[in-house]
Amino acid sequence: MKIGAYVCKGCGIEERLDTVQLASVAKRDGKAAIAKEHEFLCNADGVAMIQNDIDNEGVNRVVIVGCSRRAKTEAFSFEGVAITRANIREGVIWVRPDTDEAQETTQEMADDYVRMGCAEAKHMKIPDASGEQSLNRHILVVGGGVAGMTAAIEAAKAGYKVDLVEKSGQLGGVLGQLYKRVPAKNGLQGPVDTNVEQLVHTVEALSDITVHLNTTVAKTEGAPGRFAVELATESGSTSEVTVGAIIQATGFTPYDINKLPELGGGKSPDVVDQLAFEALAKGAAGGAIKRPSDGKEVKNVVFIQCAGQRSDQKGHLPYCSGHCCTTSIKQAMYVKEAGGDATVLFDDLRTPGAVGEDFYRAGQERGVTFSKGKVSEVQANGSLKVNFTDLILGEETAAEADMVVLATGMVPNSGPDPYAQLELEQAKADGNTDRVATLEASLADAPASILNLDYRQGTDVPHLKHGFTDSHFICFPYETRRTGIYTAGPVRRPMDIGQATEDAVGAALKAIQACENAALGQAAHPRSGDLSFPKFRKEGCTQCKRCTVECPFGAINEDEQRYPQFNESRCRRCGTCMGACPVRVISFDNYSVDTVGQQLKAVDIPDEFSEKPRLLILACENDAYPALDMAGMTHQEISAFARIIPVRCLGSVNTIWVTDALNSGYDGVVLMGCQKGDNYQCHFVKGSEMAHYRMSKIDDTLSQLNLEKERVQTFEVSITDIQRIPKIINDMETLIGEIGMSPFKF
Amino acid sequence: MSDVIATNQTILVVGGGISGLTAAIEAAECGKQVILVEKSPTVGGRVGQLYKYFPKLCFPTCGLEIQYRRLKANKNIRLLTMAEVTSVTGESGNYNVDIKLSPRYVNENCTACGACAEAVEAEFDDEHNYGMKKRKGAYLVSHMAYPQRYVIDPRIIGTPDADKAREACKVGAVDTEMQEQNLKLQVGAVVWATGWTPYDAAKIQPYGYDRFDNVITNVEFERMLDPFGPTGGRVVRPSDGQAPKNVAFIQCAGSRDHNHLKHCSRICCMASLKQTTYLREQFGDEAKSTVYYIDIRAIDRIDDFHQKVKQDPNVTFVKSKVANIVENKANGNLVLNGVDTEGYNRYANEHDLVVLAVGMESNVPAGVLPEGTVINEHNFIELDEANGAIFGAGCSSDALDVNRAAQNATASALRAIQVVNRVAGLEG
Amino acid sequence: MSNLNQTMLEKYRSNFLKEVEANVEEGEWVKMCMQCGVCSGSCPMGPHWAHPPQEIFMMIRAGKREEVLSSDSMWMCTSCYNCIARCPRGLPITHIMHGLATYAKRLGLVPQEQPTAKFAQRFWDNLSKTGRVNELKLGLSLYFMNGFGEGIKTALKMKDVGMGMVKTGRMNPMEILGGHSCKDKAGIQKMLKKAFEIEEGKIAENKMG
Amino acid sequence: MAKREYSFYPGCSSQSKASSANYLKSTKTICEELDIQLNEIPDWNCCAASIGYAGGGELPRMTLSARNIALSQKHNAGQDIVATCAACWLATRETKERLEHDASILDGANQALGEIGIKVESDIPKTRHMVEVLIEDIGYEAIGSKVKRPLDGLKIAGYVGCQTNRPFGIDGESFENPRYLDKMVETLGATPVEKYDKKVSCCGGALMFSEPEKSQALVKDIIEAAYDGGADMIVTPCPVCQMNVEVYQGHINKTYGTKFNIPVVYYSTLMSVAFGRSAKEAALEGQMIRAKKLEDLAK
State the CB neighbour count (10 A cutoff) for residue C150. Answer: 12
The one-character DSSP state at D143 is H
What confidence tier does D34 reach under pLDDT thresholds 50, 70, 90?
very high
Find all residues with CB under 8 Å of A455, minimum gap 6, and list them. A418, A482, A554, A557
CA B268 to CA B271: how far, in whole Å?
5
* Mean pLDDT value across residues B251-256: 98
What integer pLDDT is reported at residue A131 of this predicted model? 87
Tell me what pLDDT residue D267 has.
98
**Identity of residue B60:** P
Does position C1 have pLDDT exceeding 50, yes or no?
no
Asked if the model's pLDDT at residue B2 lies above 70, the reply is: no
* Weakest-pLDDT range from A366-375, A581-590, A612-621, C133-142: C133-142
pLDDT, one tens digit per residue, over B325-355 is 999 999 999 999 999 999 889 999 999 999 9
Chain centroid offset of residue C189 CA = 20
At residue A220, the pLDDT reads 98
Q: Counting one residue from A and one from B, how many pairs have CB atoms under 8 Å apart? A: 241
User: For residues B40, B41, B44 and B49, what is the CA-based torsion angle, rounded to 10 degrees?
Assistant: -80
Q: Closest Cα of chain A to C105: distance in Å?
A: 25
**Mean residue pLDDT across chain C:** 90
D296 by Cβ neighbours in 10 Å (0-12 / 13-18 / 19+) ranks as exposed
Mean pLDDT of A103-121: 98
Contacts of D159 (CB under 8 A, 6+ apart): D181, D196, D198, D199, D222, D226, D234, D235, D236, D241, D245, D264
pLDDT-derived band at D94, boundaries 50, 70, 90 = very high
Instruction: For residue range C86-117, list pLDDT tens digits in order.
Output: 999 999 999 999 999 999 999 999 999 899 99
The predicted model gives A474-488 an average pLDDT of 96
Nearest to B342 by CA among A395, C74, A344: A395
Strand partners, A161: A138
Mean pLDDT of A19-31: 98
Which residues on chain B are in Cβ contact (under 8 Å) with A372? 319, 341-342
pLDDT band for C208, please (50, 70, 90 cuts).
low
| Pairwise CB contact (< 8 Å): B256 & C46 | no
- Mutation target vs C (from A300, A369, A390, A391; most C CBs, 10 A cutoff): A369
For A223-276, the pLDDT digits (tens) are: 999 999 999 999 999 999 999 999 999 999 999 999 999 999 999 999 999 999
State whether B256 and C88 contact (CB < 8 Å). Answer: yes
- The residue among B339, B347, B349 with the most chain C CBs within 10 A of its CB, best to mutate, is B339
Q: Are D and B neighbours with ≥3 CB pairs closer than 8 A? A: yes
Give the residue from B52, B107, B140, B299 with the most A CB atoms within 10 Å of its CB, the best one to mutate. B299
Mutate to test the interface with C, among B258, B337, B341 (most CBs of C within 10 A): B341
Cβ of B329 and D175 within 8 Å? Answer: no
With an 8 Å Cβ cutoff, are C32 and A365 in contact?
yes
Lowest mean pLDDT among A299-308, A542-551, A682-691, C173-182: C173-182
- Higher pLDDT residue, A700 or A97? A97
Give the tens place of pLDDT for each residue, A730-746.
Answer: 999 999 999 999 998 87
D151-199 residue pLDDT tens: 999 999 999 999 999 999 999 999 999 999 999 999 999 999 998 989 9
For residue range A411-449, list pLDDT tens digits in order: 999 999 999 999 999 999 999 999 999 999 989 988 999
Predicted confidence (pLDDT) at residue D48 exceeds the cutoff of 50 = yes
Classify B195 in phi/psi space as left (phi over 0), alpha (psi -120 to 50) or beta: left
Between chains, do B211 and D195 touch, taking CB under 8 Å as contact?
A: yes
Question: Residue A492: is it exposed, middle or buried by C-beta count within 10 angstroms (0-12/13-18/19+)?
Answer: buried
Selection from C66, C108, C106 nearest residue C202 by Cα:
C106
Q: Nearest CA of chain C to the CA of B404: how many Å?
A: 27
Separation between Cα atoms, residue C93 and residue C78, nearest integer Å: 12
B327 in reach of chain D (CB within 8 A): yes
Closest C-alpha to A483, from A466, A468, A462, A500: A462
Question: Per residue in A43-68, is it b (16+ CB within 10 Å) or e — as a string?
Answer: beebbeebeebbeeeebbbbbbbbbb
Give pLDDT tens digits for D123-161. Answer: 999 999 999 999 999 999 999 999 999 999 999 999 999
Cβ pairs B/D, distance under 8 A: 15
Closest CA of chain D from B202, distance in Å: 10
- How far apart are the C-alpha atoms of A650 and A633, rounded to whole Å? 24
Query: Is C31 within 8 Å of A369 when comparing Cβ atoms?
Result: yes
pLDDT given for residue C144 in this prediction = 72
CB-count exposure of residue A448 (10 Å: 0-12, 13-18, 19+): exposed
Integer CA distances (angstroms), A685 to A467, A574, A675, A716, D70, in order: 18, 10, 10, 14, 78
The predicted-structure confidence for D107-126, as pLDDT tens digits, reads as follows 999 999 999 999 999 999 99
Q: CB pairs below 8 Å between B and C: how many?
A: 61
With contacts defined as CB-CB under 8 Å, which chain C residues touch B294? Answer: 34-36
- By Cβ distance, the residue of A349, A513, A622 closest to B66 is A622
Closest Cα of chain B to C37: distance in Å?
Answer: 6
Q: What percentage of chain B carries pLDDT values higher than 70?
A: 99
> Which residue in B171, B383, B398 is closest to A354 by CB distance?
B398
- Inter-chain contact D60–C199, Cβ cutoff 8 Å? yes
Q: Which residues of B touch D176 (CB under 8 A)?
A: 205-206, 208, 324
* pLDDT value for C15: 85
CB D260 within 8 A of CB D249: yes
Chains meeting A at 3+ CB pairs closer than 8 A?
B, C
* Closest residue of chain B to C54, computed from CA coordinates: B341
Find chains touching chain B: ≥3 CB pairs under 8 Å. A, C, D
Give the number of beta-carbon pairs within 8 Å between A and C: 33
- Chain D residues at the B interface, defined by Cβ less than 8 Å, are 174-177, 195, 197
Report the C-alpha gap between B410 and A504 in whole angstroms: 10
Which chain B residues have a beta carbon less than 8 Å from that of C35? 294, 341
Mean pLDDT over C146-159 rounds to: 79
Q: Tell me if there are at least 3 CB pairs under 8 Å linking chains A and C.
A: yes
DSSP string, A69-89: TTSSTTTT--TTSEEEEEE-I
State yes or no: chains B and C have 3 or more CB pairs below 8 A: yes
Report helix, strand or coil for B202.
Answer: helix
Helices (H), B41-159: 60-73, 115-119
pLDDT band at A93 (very low <50, low <70, confident <90, very high): very high
Q: Average pLDDT of C171-191?
A: 89
| pLDDT bucket at B428, cuts 50 / 70 / 90 | low
Stretch A560-565: mean pLDDT, rounded? 95
Q: How many CB atoms lie within 10 A of CB A126?
A: 15
Backbone phi, then psi, for A351, in 5-degree steps? -130, 75
Strands B333-340 and B324-328: antiparallel
**Closest residue of chain C to B261, computed from CA coordinates:** C88
Does residue B264 contact residue A186 with C-beta atoms inside 8 Å? no
Does the pLDDT of residue B401 top 80, yes or no? yes
For position A175, what pLDDT does the model report? 98
Interface of C with B (CB under 8 A): 34-38, 40-42, 46-47, 52, 54-55, 86, 88-90
Contacts of B123 (CB under 8 A, 6+ apart): B134, B135, B136, B137
Contact C32 A369 (CB under 8 A): no
> Cβ contacts (< 8 Å) between C34 and chain B: which residues?
256, 294
Average confidence score pLDDT of chain A: 96
Which subunits count as partners of chain C given 3+ CB pairs below 8 Å? A, B, D
Query: Cβ neighbours of residue A218 under 8 Å, at least 6 residues apart?
Result: A230, A231, A232, A238, A452
Tell me what the mean pLDDT of segment B178-205 comes to. 97
What average pLDDT score do residues A626-632 get? Answer: 98
- Condensed to tens digits (0 to 9), the pLDDT of residues A411-421 reads 999 999 999 99
Distance CA A488, CA A151 (A): 9
Residue of D22, D214, D250 with shortest CB distance to C45 = D214
pLDDT digits (tens, 9 = 90+) for C32-72: 999 999 999 999 999 899 999 999 999 999 999 999 999 99
CB-CB neighbors (< 8 A) of A370 in chain C: 34-35
Tell me how far apart the alpha carbons of residues D147 and D47 are, in angstroms, rounded to a whole number. 34
Chain B residue nearest residue C51, CA to CA: B344
pLDDT of the residue at D1: 53
Contacts of A392 (CB under 8 A, 6+ apart): A371, A372, B341, B342, B343, B344, C35, C54, C55, C58
pLDDT at A665 over 90: yes
Q: Which of residues 174-203 of A touch B (CB under 8 A)?
A: 184-187
**Cβ–Cβ contact C59 with A under 8 A:** yes
- Touch of D by A (3+ CB pairs closer than 8 Å): no
Q: How many CA atoms lie within 13 A of A78 on its CB side?
A: 26
CB contact under 8 A, C55 and A397: no
In three-state secondary structure terms, A380 is: strand
Q: How much of chain D, in percent, has pLDDT values that exceed 90?
A: 94
**Whether pLDDT at A350 is above 60:** yes
What is the maximum span of chain B, computed from C-alpha positions, in angstroms? 76
User: Pairing mode, if any, of strands A395-401 and A668-673?
Assistant: unpaired
A173, containing H or E segment:
none
Residues of C in contact with B346 (CB under 8 A): 40-41, 46-47
Distance between CA atoms of D5 and D7, rounded to whole angstroms?
7
Asked if D touches C (at least 3 Cβ pairs < 8 angstroms), the answer reads yes
Q: Do C195 and D60 touch (CB under 8 A)?
A: yes
